[in-house]
Structure 1
Amino acid sequence: MKVRWFVFLFLIFFGQVLIAQTSRSSRLYRNAPAFGSMKLSFGGGLSYYLGDMRAKTDLRFIEPHLAVALLYRLSEHFSARGEVNLYRLSAKQEGGPVWYNNLSFRSTNPAAYVGLQADLFGFHTERFVKPYLFGGIGITFINPKAYYQGKWYSLRPLQTEGIAYKRLVRIALVGIGVSFKYNDRLGFAVELSDNFANSDYLDDVSTNYPDPTGMSELALALSDRRSELTNLPTGYSPRNEPGNQRGNPKIKDSYGFLSLRAEYLIGSPMRRAERRKLKCYY
């Protein structure tokens, strides 16, 4: 009986110590300087292609994406932000205004960027919801492919418009987000962003149908896919003439993200020093 009471009293004492330590840690966080704190953000969501093959708003071509970001606090309202993404884009002209050209693509691309995040409310502001803006510049590696006769083919090596465009492309992005606080260390966020590419070849479509001279059979088949259709409008040839419009080079391609992120506050140099002093591992 005495042993049970001893265990019971020990658990109460240990619980009180733990609560006091946690409370003290929370106060340390609130009193810590904003500069130098780091936050890890990871999650994913939906990606949406905006380019030559898009026919208004087509929900068939919503694809997934994954993201990991690291934020380094510079001041109460600003953080440096670095992010790595893996995203997929896809589209078909089927069902659109130029369905009779019958082009399509799919591409799974990595991307990375660095930039700045601006918070509407300061680092130490006690609010459950904190909106912010962000933007940056970076690079993405594009690899558009087309499905043909049961197989996916990479389009860039085939030069379907007679142009060997670059796969490594510069990007710029802007976005808006809302962060929701769970506790001093954990939270989640919802973000919406636009990513603008310095290329019109995310979908392998930009200018005109090329001169077929010297092109391989596979390159010709994937450059002009009109001949695969059996329901062409009256007067339309089964093949496009060289020089006919294939895309719109005046507007470069872009894509959007809708993301749900989990956030984890790694801490600041001051906080890590305090943890070592207090031996408070939380």
Structure 2
Amino acid sequence: MRKLFTLLLLSIIALTVHAQAWEAGVTLGGAGYMGDLNNRNPVQVSGGMAGVFARKNFSEYLSAKVAYNYGFIHADDANSSNQIDRNRNLSFTTYLNEISAVAEFNFFEYRPSVFRHAFTPYVFAGLGGLYYVPTAKLDDKWYDLRSFKTENEAKPYSKFAVSVPYGIGIKYSFSNKLGITADAGYRYVKTDYLDDVSGNYANPANFTTTQFRLADKRLDPNQRGTYGMQRGDGRPHDSYMFFSISISYTWITDRCYFQY
């Protein structure tokens, strides 16, 4: 996983050095997630995100983007409309560090800094690496949930995961050098622990007091402490998403990639 992060970071540096027809910019937006504490609403925004990126326009229809995004997601069973979830009474906040490389396909001819080809919808897909840290609050103190192994895992799950970003957006070049992009991008993630919840309740005899209080917050006293019951939603993977607006600056070096 660390090799993937290194490779993606080197790609960002190398592509920037050899830029020919480029955009570079900043991104702000909202973040959400689908998983064990939210398995019903695929567009629920629960946090925020910010990032930086560089995009190379190979032609009017094809471009590639490398990016670093930082964000956080949150969910709380207390806010659920489902009584079973409210009884589970879990919550989390997870911090996300993502490096990604994606290919973008424009539906219309798009030529930054050329007014008559200044707008297009597009789709994108690619590959990324994610470093994530699930946390929870207990007695006004924040805890790193991974280190407490709340489902009595044999060893703590990895802090790193492969992500597969994909989504849709629109681009608009509104001046000679500046452009704006709005997109919605989902991330399929090769982990079920973005929220620190995956399987079943573990035997509390194997827990310290703090571990037990982080792992089993059920409101029903007749259930709390019993084990083997389902804790997660049974799905093998979580996902997260960014809904963002980006501002970019366009410059052309070496050969121009389009004809006026």
Q: Say whether residues 1:134 and 2:124 are aligned partners.
A: yes
C-alpha displacement of 1:238 = 4.6
C-alpha displacement of 1:176 = 0.9
* Ranges in structure 2 where 5+ consecutive residues have no aligned partner: 1-18
Judging changes above 3 Å, is the alpha-carbon distance between structure 1 residues 119 and 58 closer, same or farther for their aligned structure 2 residues?
closer
C-alpha displacement of 1:161 = 0.4
C-alpha displacement of 1:59 = 8.6
C-alpha displacement of 1:103 = 0.5
C-alpha displacement of 1:80 = 1.8
Q: Which of the residues 206, 220, 225 maps onto 2:217?
A: 225
Q: CA RMSD in A?
A: 2.1
Q: Distance in 2 between matches of 1:61 and 1:262?
A: 21
C-alpha displacement of 1:120 = 1.5
Q: Judge conservation of contact 1:79–1:118 (CA < 8 Å) in 2.
A: yes
Q: TM-score, normalised by structure 2?
A: 0.82
Judging changes above 3 Å, is the alpha-carbon distance between structure 1 residues 238 and 149 closer, same or farther for their aligned structure 2 residues?
farther
Q: Judge conservation of contact 1:55–1:93 (CA < 8 Å) in 2.
A: no
What secondary structure does 1:270 align onto?
coil
What secondary structure does 1:219 align onto?
helix
Q: Distance in 2 between matches of 1:123 and 1:43?
A: 20
In structure 1, the partner of 2:65 is 81
Q: Which of the residues 27, 51, 56 maps onto 2:35?
A: 51
Q: Distance in 2 between matches of 1:122 and 1:58?
A: 31
Q: Say whether residues 1:186 and 2:178 are aligned partners.
A: yes
* Ranges in structure 1 where 5+ consecutive residues have no aligned partner: 1-34, 272-282
Q: Which has a greater percent of strand?
A: 2
- Which sits farther off after the overlay, 258-267 or 115-124? 115-124
Judging changes above 3 Å, is the alpha-carbon distance between structure 1 residues 43 and 218 closer, same or farther for their aligned structure 2 residues?
same
Q: Which amino acid aligns with 2:227?
A: P
C-alpha displacement of 1:168 = 0.3
Q: Say whether residues 1:144 and 2:134 are aligned partners.
A: yes
C-alpha displacement of 1:119 = 1.2
Q: Judge conservation of contact 1:85–1:110 (CA < 8 Å) in 2.
A: yes
Write out aligned runs for 1:182-261 (5 A): 182-226=174-218, 229=219, 232=220, 237-261=222-246
Q: Distance in 2 between matches of 1:191 and 1:70?
A: 15
Q: Distance in 2 between matches of 1:58 and 1:136?
A: 20
Q: Percent identity?
A: 27
Q: Say whether residues 1:103 and 2:90 are aligned partners.
A: yes
What secondary structure does 2:180 align onto?
strand
C-alpha displacement of 1:93 = 1.0
Q: Which amino acid aligns with 2:245?
A: L
Deviations 1:194-251 (CA, angstroms, capped at 9, x unpaired): 111110000000000112233211111100012xx4xx4xxx6151421110002424
Write out aligned runs for 1:158-177 (5 A): 158-163=148-153, 164-177=156-169
Q: Judge conservation of contact 2:30–2:45 (CA < 8 Å) in 1.
A: no
- Which sits farther off after the overlay, 187-196 or 73-82? 73-82
In structure 1, the partner of 2:75 is 91
- Which sits farther off after the overlay, 125-134 or 186-195? 125-134
Q: Distance in 1 between matches of 2:54 and 2:180?
A: 14
Q: Judge conservation of contact 1:42–1:262 (CA < 8 Å) in 2.
A: yes
Q: Distance in 1 between matches of 2:239 and 2:132?
A: 12
Q: Distance in 1 between matches of 2:145 and 2:120?
A: 43
Q: Distance in 2 between matches of 1:110 and 1:169?
A: 11
Q: Which amino acid aligns with 1:269?
A: D
Judging changes above 3 Å, is the alpha-carbon distance between structure 1 residues 38 and 87 closer, same or farther for their aligned structure 2 residues?
same
If you compute each CA radius of gyration, which structure gives the higher value, 1 or 2?
A: 1
C-alpha displacement of 1:121 = 2.2
Q: TM-score, normalised by structure 1?
A: 0.76
What secondary structure does 1:180 align onto?
strand
Q: Judge conservation of contact 1:61–1:91 (CA < 8 Å) in 2.
A: no
